[in-house]
A and B are shown apart, each in its own frame.
Chain A
Amino acid sequence: MLHANSALSSSETSLAATAGTAVRFDGVSMRYGQTTVLAPLDLAVERGTRVAVIGPSGAGKTTLLRLMAGAVAPTTGIVELCGRDLTNLRPGRELARLVGMIAQQFDLVPNLSVLHNVLAGRLGEWSFGRSLLSLVWPREQRLAFDALERVGVTHLAHQRAGRLSGGEQQRVAIARLLVQRPTVVLADEPVASLDPARAREVTRLLTDVTEEQGETLVASIHSIELAREFFDRIVGLRNGVVQFDVPAFSIGDHVLDELYEIEGLRSEV
């Protein structure tokens, strides 16, 4: 008990000290056995900003996001969200209020209606009875319909999620996050499985929506054009090492060439 109390008070002080920081990495590294996936890394993401993580496959982007989501614990260092050390947080309501995530696809429950999938964002807040009731007779529909309207798929509310196109499914996933309302939104290659036009629409939607809600967005993304157009800041990652960390407007083509080209040479050796 005593230990838990002291942990709580220390996290409260750090919350006051880092009010403007949504995500903070302090000497964070990740190793699986002998393989270093992420070299020791310090990183701070300001609240309300949009950060794109780019880099070739296997650069450690997904690991970076999974660390931020509290899905894995770092080998060394501390991950903090809004001043809370993630190692002390188990999956549940509290973590869901801090951080939400969108994956590449296959994230929705295909047999349930779009409406149910969106309301699943409320499961952390609902009692068991309310969840059970909602399965038959959805509660808080207003909230879900507002979110669906915001992402432009209100007409699909009663369709089964599995029958939607990839782009529509990602919109529904965004609507679910709108209902969940986490402080930090993470997106792991959210548009990788969409065609270029759809990818642009969904990226724009994701950045707009998080901006409106004052949320922080960290997204790994393949397309440099999208990263430059819709994000505030770009972090370039290669072989688990941050190559650059710059405002999006300042990024030059030569930097990107380097990030990808050297990787290409290496794989030939």
Chain B
Amino acid sequence: MRSNPPASRGRPRAIESRRAITLILIGAFALSLLGVDWSEGVFRPRGLIAIGETLGALFRPDLSPELLRKAAAAAWQTLVYAVAGLTVALLIGVPLGVIASGAIARSRLGAVTQIGAARAVLAFFRAIHELVWALLFVAAIGLSPMAAVLALGIPYGGILGRIYSELLQDVPQAPLDALRRSGASEWRVFLFGRLPMALPDMVSYTFYRLECGIRSAAVLGWVGLGGLGFQVQIALEDLAYSRVWTFLWVLVGMVVLVDLWSSQVRRRLAP
């Protein structure tokens, strides 16, 4: 039924430009290899030995009670940062994500304005990495937990808001149309259609972000905010690789636990 001569002519052109892009990327990679100074070797003279020592300690973490107590305290601090940071991220991401989806706009113009404005704010929040936010907040309010929580919450809020807005837009349209036909306004369509249909993916993505948050919170230790990262840093400076691995294994354990928790919740939410 549909006549589409432009599509049939446009198709080979699209394939050609795709090929061109592929060739350019391969070329760029090849050129980047030329930039490496192979004569000096890829590793520093001591580098290979250091790698050997690090990996050697992988399965020999220091499990002394004293260190485990220290690791537990550090892990708790990291977890608190991550959870508090994610709470701030939710406070930013949920309202801005809903606005950025354009789902509650009353007019087309309103939708365009809302989507544009909310996306710009979200983009600003997440364009700046949490470590940079951390440095800014440490400079502004000192080495306080508040700095860590805000440093995590702001970029994560930007990421959550962006993803939420897309999930809220990409729900099946037929049930939404059915709700509109029964007289529901866009807000009610949102409550009884969009939100329930997008919620499982929103929750699952939030859990994934909690995982990332734990990782990021650990790294915040490097700017002096305590937690697992700080302990890893100290251990690295002492070249005590088995202590480093104690802390890293605790980190891995926390991420695995969050993953298990999230799959439990996801199973309950599945339609």
Contact = CB atoms under 8 A, between A and B. Distances in A.
A126 interface: yes
Nearest to A160: B271
Given A69-B181, A103-B174, A128 B187 contact: yes
Interface residues of B, number: 23
Interface in B157-175: 172, 174-175
B188 A109 contact: no
B175 A96 contact: no
A167 B188 CA distance: 27
B180 A120 contact: no
A101 B178 contact: yes
- Most B C-beta atoms less than 10 A away, residue of A91, A103, A110, A132: A91
A123 B271 contact: no
A96 B271 contact: no
A111 B197 contact: yes
A95 B192 contact: no
- Looking at chain B's contact residues, the main secondary structure is helix
Interface in B231-271: 269, 271
Contact of B183 (A95, A107, A109, A163): A95
A109 B197 contact: yes
A183 to B, nearest CB: 13
**Of residues A58, A109, A121, which shows the largest number of chain B Cβ atoms within 10 Å of its Cβ?**
A109
Interface residues of A, number: 39
Contact of A128 (B180, B188, B271): B188
Nearest to A58: B1
Contacts of B182: 96, 100, 120-124, 176, 180
Interface of B: 1, 172, 174-175, 178-185, 187-188, 191-193, 196-197, 199-200, 269, 271
Given A120-B179, A123-B192, 6 more contacts: A71-B181, A96-B183, A111-B269, A123-B188, A131-B187, A135-B191
24 contacts: A58-B1, A69-B181, A71-B181, A94-B183, A95-B183, A97-B183, A107-B178, A108-B178, A109-B192, A109-B193, A110-B197, A111-B199, A112-B192, A112-B196, A120-B178, A120-B182, A120-B184, A123-B184, A123-B188, A126-B188, A131-B184, A160-B271, A173-B178, A180-B183
